[in-house]
Amino acid sequence: MFISVEVLRILNWVRPVAGFTLHPATAPKTSSKRATTDILDPRNGIFVIMSILYPTHHPERYSFVSTSAGKQSDKKPPPPVDELAWSDELLRDPHHQKDKAERVEAMFSAIAPSYDLNNRVHSLWRDQAWRKAAVRFAQLQNGERVLDVATGTGDLARAFAREKVSEVVGLDFTQAMLDVAAQKPTPPGTAPISYVRGDAMDLPFEDQTFDVVSIAFGIRNVLDPLKAISEFHRVLRPGGRCLILEFTLPRNAVLRAGYNFYFRRILPVTATLISRDRTGAYRYLPESVNTFINEEQMSGLMQQAGFKNIARRRLTLGIACLYRGLRS
């Protein structure tokens, strides 16, 4: 029986719900089509898939660097997940909690295995179209170096790598998300991608080292957005572009009512079932959007950070917005 890589990926996505894990055999570099034996190792029963078809991975195109390796021994163990869960009280003002960083990290660590599945299902696959729009909006030129902040599972970083850039660096605060990103197969003919653990408010890079800095659906998760955007400005070369993709609220009252019903009543239930999350991640999501700054305020932050020629583009009936600023 032969199953395509998309089916293989979906099986791994539904692992948290179905209760099994797929372990693909490691293909030799000379093989480009088949692994003779892969095993689906269930927690409840036995299921074996023979001869699963999947394309050769090219791990040499990925590298992983931890910027905090020397600090691990001094770091206190994180509190239990339940202690970092988002309560109703905290969700009234999620952006001004002193321990927001710890809660966000615990949240994304918990949902990392099912993150891509939830994104696809609950955006009706629009999330990939938004990222492609972001790449076009970046106005890339040949040989440019790209930094994708809050890269998560690497979808936007990989989209940039498909263009004629020299290198893409994906940075994220959450190790579990980076682990998922690093395990994804390399699209053929793409630029090399490096994944780095780091903080958007304190980027581990020298001044003026990138041509494009992007962040998709991550700026509202940062404790101090202005500080992060100022860091983006610092690491950009003159002529470089800052690109922000973030959720917004539809301006039309009818659309906004329908959006809020789906976003606050349906998505938290179904996404939590898929992810088996106990941190309140999918209750935090709609509240973090509804209590975040609006488009004009975001443009204002970019101007405060030093960016010029701010441009905006609303996507999909106004539920997301692209921002671009130029470093002079």
Q: What is the pLDDT of residues 291-318, one digit of tens each?
A: 999 999 999 999 999 999 999 999 999 9
**β strands within the chain, DSSP E:** 20-23, 37-42, 47-50, 62-66, 145-149, 167-172, 193-197, 210-216, 236-247, 308-315, 320-326
Per the model's pLDDT, the better-predicted residue between 68 and 319 turns out to be 319
Better-scored residue on pLDDT, 251 or 53: 251
Mean pLDDT throughout 32-57? Answer: 35
Residue recorded with tokens 């390796």 = 69
pLDDT of residue 288: 96
**For residue 63, is pLDDT > 70?**
no
63-70+77-326 CATH fold? Rossmann fold (3.40.50)
Q: 201 pLDDT band (50/70/90 cuts)?
A: very high
Rounded to an integer, what distance in angstroms lies between the CA atom of residue 130 and that of residue 216? 9
Q: 146-150, 187-191, 277-281: which has the minimum mean pLDDT?
A: 187-191
Region 40-45: what's the mean pLDDT?
Answer: 38
**pLDDT digits 0-9 by tens, 85-137:** 999 898 899 999 999 999 999 999 999 999 999 999 999 889 999 999 999 99
Nearest residue to 209 (alpha-carbon basis) of 146, 117, 270, 288:
146
Q: State pLDDT tens for residues 28-40.
A: 333 333 333 333 3
Contact 229, 310 (CB under 8 A): no
Average pLDDT over residues 55-80: 46
pLDDT at 3 exceeding the cut of 60 = no
DSSP-assigned letter for residue 174: -
Q: Which residue has the higher pLDDT, 312 or 45?
A: 312
pLDDT band at 186 (very low <50, low <70, confident <90, very high): confident
Contacts of 169 (CB under 8 A, 6+ apart): 145, 146, 147, 148, 157, 193, 194, 195, 196, 210
Q: Report d(CA 217, CA 315) in Å as an integer.
A: 13
Greater confidence (297 vs 67) lies with: 297
pLDDT tops 80 at residue 71:
no
Question: Which of 228, 215, 231, 168 minimizes the C-alpha distance to 196?
Answer: 168
Domain ranges of the chain: 5-56, 63-70+77-326
Distances (CA, A) of 32 to 37, 52, 159, 319: 15, 12, 23, 41
Residue 80 pLDDT greater than 90, yes or no: no
The CA distance from 128 to 172, in Å, is 19
What is the C-alpha separation between 314 and 245, in angstroms, rounded?
Answer: 10
When the pLDDT of each residue in the chain is averaged and rounded to a whole number, the result is: 83
**Sequence letter at residue 296:** E
- β-pairing, 193-197 vs 210-216, is unpaired
Q: Is the pLDDT of residue 187 over 50?
A: yes
Residue 76: band (very low, low, confident or very high) from pLDDT cuts 50, 70, 90: low
Please say if the pLDDT value at position 47 is more than 90.
Answer: no
